[in-house]
Chain A
């Protein structure tokens, strides 16, 4: 059933059962919320306002100004192509000088990318960058047998920029292991009235990213630049006054403690319901995406989906080490391994390698995508930043050129 048909059904239920009787508050409230949810779908697509900047990658010269870190970039018939990348960061050209009034970032893309993205905007008032996270609901890995679909994504950035700010540059960080992500265009535009309303509303409904970090908190959604919690406090104040007036005028209540208590309780109940509806909407979104990503999959596939496919090669490496290690032998990282804030290979390998154990005394050492470590096959030594860290080393396993297990000692 489409959203508009649900809406029509809701209208008829509410009209028949509730409004005539005039006593079912719950139905009215649900109807109100449901109506709000249907507004954006009926709004026209944002039209370019007076100001807009569009990067459509039609010329090779234009693409040359874009860069990717942790990935490789190519041009393909008017499309920017990130061939391969590991949490790749796409950097725009510098000195863009786009006014903050062009607060709607739009881009169209195609590719197996799902998860939390991050945009960092470098502006005149924040040259070190302001970050905003958003969820990208592209194709899941392996769903691109027929080339996949083009997706369009709009991100409202007006709430992280000040009014007179100017965007100097920006970058986009994509989640996980990316293979063949195509970007057709990226644009900034000034939203008109309806476009702004739509952008603010969608920004408010943006789902909370549930990643692999610790469970410390859930962010308060923003409505424009306002925290949802702040607006709820204002709502409580207004609702309190309206309810007090209602009780005095319609119910002939006396202005006193009892009236105040009733009004406070009613105002908080209403605000709590609004809070619950919005925040539970997060869980509905999470359920829908988890249904796609995890349901009916094997344990291994679910772990792969958890890391958005980014760690598949790493897990293959771990499995290979498990198979390779002789009984009783253990493993350890060579030197001091990198610890990217997004993932810590030493910690992960120690955990996922079990039942094979890690040990500081192990005869087997592993290196995984650590540019600081180099192997000298002639001298059979490992160096980290030029400093000798292991002698008498022979490679015994390699799943990728940069993923190698070495045995220390024992000759060739």
Chain B
């Protein structure tokens, strides 16, 4: 039971923040809860990080007090600036437009469509139940989960602090945190769970993972639904939920699934901004990009890509300088608030981005984990190997990527002439950045398949979303012509 409280409390805080940030948007309670889950856990890990910096002991009561203070503050802000009435914080939003709290009906017009929707929904629910079962049943099993993320959490838990004494042998978890430059979000989530449980339970400390899977599917569904309607959104969600690697990650306490969640949302809100130009959406995009950085180093690729996309978008739209500046501030400031302290701390501590104990040991054009004596230079061999890995040798993503490629060719006219081109810009930049890293730095990520697939998990939902948008355009265009 403690585990659920451990998740419900930050989710409620996240829900309140979502209600505040999206007060002018049409999000219903289910979507807000799914968004609030990630936001709330993000605020929680930020809180723990600050407590660690301020040398406030990692004990249950101070942590809980911190959460309650955040909740109280958010309730006040909602009542003061949000759309909530004084009567009840929850009841005012639980019947908001788009909410499915009061009524539920299967999407689809005809009986056959309803049958398909029903089967798809059952399939998705079964998948979620499976992920929940595995997450709550298996102990931490992947070597890099326990030896890195969980080892850091377990050390902090028993140490009661981040041990920021530079004289200490285990300063900031050294030796236990194999990669000192790796961000702390999932480490702190395990620490939080352990504090609620009263011990570092090898199974339950990762119970947040399955809920990231579920929350991700929900936000993906609502994002597609806004553009394609509920029936197609449900099918797209089923399609994405059958990606085996996504399911696999939902059962373990790694950081890749939360990264997928935050990255997708930062892109989704940027997309909504591009379509509507409502500035508040940029703030949310910036917050999620910041959380992506606080979850994994790869989040920086997402942020820089989105920043570049915003530059291109504002140049193409040709707005006044003040308007442009305001847009950038709205995106960058929340990002800096969320990710800035961590990046500053990382810079000051010289923890770096690489895969060794500490320091910025980037060895350009040579992968330190590649076989000794291997030539240095651009490792072109990763391209054919990478393509073989992604398209043939492994079965990680269902047919999302080939389908996207085919749609991109068929719908070339459609996506180039619409806002969808910005999604393509994001995808091309992220994939390009990864391949640049493979070509120059992390060769074994491809040749030994240690990174290429989990990296692809980051852009998988963005590709699926872009495919949904292109397909929508294609179907509406051919529909228009036929009518």
Give chain A's interface residues, CB within 8 Å of chain B: 23-24, 26, 208, 210-221, 227-230, 232-233, 236, 257-258, 260-261, 264-265, 268-269, 271-272, 275-276, 279-280, 282-283, 286-287, 290, 294-295, 299, 302-303, 306, 344, 347, 350-351, 354-355, 357-361
Nearest CB of B to A386, in Å: 26
Residues of B within 8 A of A351 (CB): 146-147, 150-151, 154, 176
Residue ID in chain B nearest A214 by CB atoms: B144
Residue ID in chain B nearest A228 by CB atoms: B395
Instruction: Give the CA-CA distance A373 to B449 in the complex, in Å.
Output: 35
Asked whether, in the complex, the Cβ of A299 is within 8 Å of the Cβ of B202, the reply is yes
B296 at the interface (CB under 8 A from A): no
Asked whether, in the complex, the Cβ of B119 is within 8 Å of the Cβ of A303, the reply is no
Nearest CB of B to A226, in Å: 10
Task: List 10 additional A-B contacts (Cβ < 8 Å) besides A265-B471, A347-B147.
Answer: A24-B112, A215-B245, A221-B395, A271-B399, A272-B399, A275-B242, A275-B395, A294-B138, A302-B138, A359-B169
Asked whether, in the complex, the Cβ of B393 is within 8 Å of the Cβ of A303, the reply is no
Residue ID in chain A nearest B130 by CB atoms: A283
Asked whether, in the complex, the Cβ of A216 is within 8 Å of the Cβ of B398, the reply is no
A213 and B449 contact, Cβ closer than 8 Å, known pairs A218-B394, A219-B394, A359-B169: no
Residues of B within 8 A of A220 (CB): 392-395
Residues of B within 8 A of A228 (CB): 395
Residues of B within 8 A of A213 (CB): 142-143
Instruction: Give the CA-CA distance A361 to B481 in the complex, in Å.
Output: 78
Asked whether, in the complex, the Cβ of A272 is within 8 Å of the Cβ of B478, the reply is no
Instruction: Give the CA-CA distance A217 to B390 in the complex, in Å.
Output: 10
A257 and B478 contact, Cβ closer than 8 Å, known pairs A218-B395, A275-B399, A303-B202: yes
Nearest CB of B to A373, in Å: 21
Instruction: Give the CA-CA distance A208 to B112 in the complex, in Å.
Output: 34
Residues of B within 8 A of A215 (CB): 142, 245, 248-249, 252, 254, 256, 454
A358 and B394 contact, Cβ closer than 8 Å, known pairs A216-B449, A264-B410: no
Nearest CB of B to A71, in Å: 24
Residues of B within 8 A of A23 (CB): 112
B474 at the interface (CB under 8 A from A): yes
Asked whether, in the complex, the Cβ of A229 is within 8 Å of the Cβ of B141, the reply is no
Instruction: Give the CA-CA distance A290 to B474 in the complex, in Å.
Output: 44
Residues of A within 8 A of B392 (CB): 220, 227, 229-230
Main secondary structure on B side of the interface with A: helix
Residues of A within 8 A of B407 (CB): 264
| B377-397 contacts to A (CB < 8 Å) | 389, 391-396
Asked whether, in the complex, the Cβ of A287 is within 8 Å of the Cβ of B116, the reply is no
Instruction: Give the CA-CA distance A291 to B431 in the complex, in Å.
Output: 39
Instruction: Give the CA-CA distance A220 to B392 in the complex, in Å.
Output: 7
Give chain B's interface residues, CB within 8 Å of chain A: 112, 115-116, 119, 123, 127, 130, 133-134, 137-139, 141-144, 146-147, 150-151, 154-155, 158, 169-170, 175-176, 200-203, 235, 238-239, 242, 244-245, 247-249, 252, 254, 256, 389, 391-396, 398-399, 402-403, 406-407, 410, 449-451, 453-454, 471, 474-475, 478, 481-482
Residue ID in chain A nearest B409 by CB atoms: A264
Which of A217, A258, A282 is in CB contact (< 8 Å) with B481? A258
A-B residue pair count with CB separations less than 8 angstroms = 157
Asked whether, in the complex, the Cβ of A258 is within 8 Å of the Cβ of B158, the reply is no
Instruction: Give the CA-CA distance A261 to B430 in the complex, in Å.
Output: 28
Asked whether, in the complex, the Cβ of B142 is within 8 Å of the Cβ of A212, the reply is yes
Nearest CB of A to B148, in Å: 10
Instruction: Give the CA-CA distance A286 to B115 in the complex, in Å.
Output: 28
Residue ID in chain A nearest B239 by CB atoms: A272
Residue ID in chain A nearest B169 by CB atoms: A359
Residues of B within 8 A of A219 (CB): 393-395
Asked whether, in the complex, the Cβ of B150 is within 8 Å of the Cβ of A26, the reply is no
Asked whether, in the complex, the Cβ of B396 is within 8 Å of the Cβ of A217, the reply is yes
Instruction: Give the CA-CA distance A233 to B405 in the complex, in Å.
Output: 13
Chosen A-B contacts, 6 in total, with CB atoms closer than 8 Å, are A212-B143, A215-B256, A279-B395, A290-B138, A302-B203, A347-B147
Asked whether, in the complex, the Cβ of A354 is within 8 Å of the Cβ of B449, the reply is no
Residue ID in chain B nearest A347 by CB atoms: B147
Asked whether, in the complex, the Cβ of B112 is within 8 Å of the Cβ of A280, the reply is no
Residues of A within 8 A of B394 (CB): 217-220
Nearest CB of A to B432, in Å: 21
Residue ID in chain A nearest B147 by CB atoms: A347
Asked whether, in the complex, the Cβ of A350 is within 8 Å of the Cβ of B482, the reply is no
Asked whether, in the complex, the Cβ of B116 is within 8 Å of the Cβ of A299, the reply is no
Asked whether, in the complex, the Cβ of B130 is within 8 Å of the Cβ of A287, the reply is yes
Asked whether, in the complex, the Cβ of B139 is within 8 Å of the Cβ of A303, the reply is yes
Instruction: Give the CA-CA distance A350 to B174 in the complex, in Å.
Output: 12
Asked whether, in the complex, the Cβ of B482 is within 8 Å of the Cβ of A218, the reply is no
Nearest CB of A to B229, in Å: 15
Asked whether, in the complex, the Cβ of B143 is within 8 Å of the Cβ of A290, the reply is no
Instruction: Give the CA-CA distance A219 to B151 in the complex, in Å.
Output: 28
Nearest CB of A to B449, in Å: 5
8 closest Cβ pairs, A-B complex: A276-B242, A355-B158, A258-B478, A220-B395, A218-B244, A217-B453, A217-B394, A214-B144
Residues of B within 8 A of A299 (CB): 139, 201-203
Residues of A within 8 A of B242 (CB): 272, 275-276, 279-280
Instruction: Give the CA-CA distance A260 to B175 in the complex, in Å.
Output: 58
